[in-house]
Amino acid sequence: MNIDKIEISAKILEEKLKEYAGKDVQAARLYDDLKPLLELAKSRKILSPLEVGEVPGRYRFTENGLQKYSDLEHVYAVFSIEITGGEPPILKVLNARRNRD
- Domain of residue 29 covers 3-100
92 pLDDT tier (thresholds 50, 70, 90) = low
pLDDT at position 4: 94
Residue 52 — very low, low, confident or very high, per pLDDT cuts 50/70/90? confident
Please write down the HEC assignment for all residues of 1-39.
CCHHHHHHHHHHHHHHHHHHHCCCHHHHHHHHHHHHHHH
The number of domains in the chain is 1
8 pLDDT band, cuts 50/70/90, is very high
User: What does the mean pLDDT of the chain come to?
Assistant: 90
Q: CA 42, CA 37: separation in Å to the nearest integer?
A: 9
Does 59 have pLDDT greater than 80?
Answer: yes
Write out pLDDT tens, residues 69-79: 999 999 999 99
